[in-house]
Amino acid sequence: MKILTTFPSAGEFEKAKQVLEKVALPHVIMKPAPGFSLVGLPALVIEEEDRGKLLGGGQGVFITSGWVDFHQPAQSVPNNTPPEFDEDIFGTVAIMVLQPCTADLTKLRATAHFSGDLSPVFPFMNSLMRDAFYNAHSQTFTFMEGHRMIAVYPRRVAVAKTNDIVDTWRVLEMLRVRFNECWKNRANITPSTELRKCPPALEIYYRLPKINCGECGERMCMAFALRLWSGQVALTQCKPVFGGTHGHLKDALVEICGGLGVQKE
């Protein structure tokens, strides 16, 4: 079984490369360049059984974003040079966390941080993307791209259910271009703070016990889902799921809430 990791900075990747040279392990380095070079750093693929030799050999210390099972990417990195923007609101990007999705271990979940602040762009993006959900209270901009769930915060994004590392880079590049183009054209866009709350709240509701027990303080699970989506209650207040009779729903709920940018606590 092969495993893959990427790095939170170019410096950590360089340190890992030096260790690899010292221990002479077979490995493959996947590069995001040229098409995704502004959002990704190289990823390292090794045999799972070699991880101990790489990390425990005392040859050097480096930080990774996390290890996941390697799946052959279904798409290639594009050959084009990525567009640049005079006023780049995104800034530099780093994948800080890479892990398998809780509900589907064949898919990836990543958290990437930006050096920029996207909060001024959210109302303009909310006006453009009618299928997205902007929550001004929690400063979260959420949407689905196919089966992927994307929650954008002012300085980070949580992407759930990407197919592989190349797909993750592609999503980050798509976000970088969309947000920068929107910001560039903002003079022609009427900003909107409309909260289109029902569809995400329904996604949460579908995964709740739907027994209307009232233990969370709401009489109906639907009311709890709506308040959860608008950031007024915590997911863990649903006692049947957290410590009660419906614990089997926990992973799916945590997954959807993470993907929608809803905090668990």
Which spans of this chain sit near ligand SF4 (rule: CB under 6 A)? 208-209, 211-216, 218, 221, 224, 238-240
**Backbone torsions φ then ψ of 17, nearest 5 degrees:** -65, -40
> How far apart are CB 237 and ligand SF4 at their closest, in Å?
7
Burial readout 88-103 (b: 16 or more C-beta within 10 A, e: otherwise): bbbeebbbbebeebbb
- Residue number with CB closer to ligand SF4 (8 or 209): 209
User: Phi-psi category of 230—alpha, beta or left, where left has phi over 0 and alpha has psi -120 to 50?
Assistant: alpha
d(CA 153, CA 223): 25
d(CA 131, CA 113): 24
- Residue number with CB closer to ligand SF4 (99 or 237): 237
- Residue number with CB closer to ligand SF4 (29 or 211): 211
> How far apart are CB 243 and ligand SF4 at their closest, in Å?
11
- Residue number with CB closer to ligand SF4 (98 or 221): 221
d(CA 144, CA 162): 11
Which residue is associated with the tokens 């990747």?
13
Cβ atoms of 182 and 121 closer than 8 Å:
yes
d(CA 109, CA 242): 22
> How far apart are CB 207 and ligand SF4 at their closest, in Å?
10
- Residue number with CB closer to ligand SF4 (50 or 215): 215
> How far apart are CB 211 and ligand SF4 at their closest, in Å?
5
> How far apart are CB 226 and ligand SF4 at their closest, in Å?
11
d(CA 258, CA 109): 10
- Residue number with CB closer to ligand SF4 (167 or 218): 218
* Residue 214: DSSP 8-state: -
d(CA 121, CA 119): 5
User: Phi-psi category of 231—alpha, beta or left, where left has phi over 0 and alpha has psi -120 to 50?
Assistant: left
> How far apart are CB 151 and ligand SF4 at their closest, in Å?
21
